[in-house]
Amino acid sequence: MGLRVRQRLRPGAAPAADNESKWPYAKPLLTDPSVRPGCSEITGASAAYRDLLRIRTTEKVFSQTTVEGVRQVLSFPLSGTGETPGVITMGLGRLVVVFNATPSRQSQTVPALAGTPYALHPVQAHGADATVRTSGYERATGTFTVPGRTVAVFTASGAVGR
């Protein structure tokens, strides 16, 4: 099978049942050859996804088996008006995950984490995605900075795999 899949991610519009009203917005993107992903984009996205899967399988905090277990480790410290539109900051045990769906670099300050040493998760810091490697954390203020359209996982120093 390999990479000869030929970009089947965009063969047509989403199902009509709940998307037909949005088809006029999608048509220019679906027909524009300049936005069709090539092999390097597909390979890069696949490798970055594998990095996230590696984090998911090596961090025990992702293996909660009960609702109570999830409640004990999951938090959204900037939910509501404290969160930047298009950005979600999630605490998961000793991890902080920042989902930045905006097109531009965003900074999220979590005052309660100021002074706590965090770093980009080693899998991402040494992984396939050069963009995510530009993510950062400022210890003095508890500020996480993440490029646009990026998911970055930060871990408290010495907390990998716990």
For 75-104, write each residue's pLDDT tens digit: 999 988 878 999 999 999 999 999 999 999
Largest CA distance in the chain: 50
What does the alpha-carbon distance between residue 141 and residue 10 come to, in Å, rounded to a whole number?
42
Structure tokens at 112: 């309660």
Residue 113 has pLDDT above 80, yes or no: yes
3-state secondary structure of 155: strand
The tens digit of pLDDT for each residue in 4-54 reads 444 444 456 678 788 888 888 878 877 888 888 889 989 999 999 999 999
pTM reported for the whole predicted model? 0.80
Read off the DSSP letter of residue 97: E
Please determine, looking at this structure, whether the domain spanning 52-156 carries the CATH number 2.60.40.1180. yes
Comparing C-alpha atoms, which of 51, 30, 40 is closest to residue 3? 40
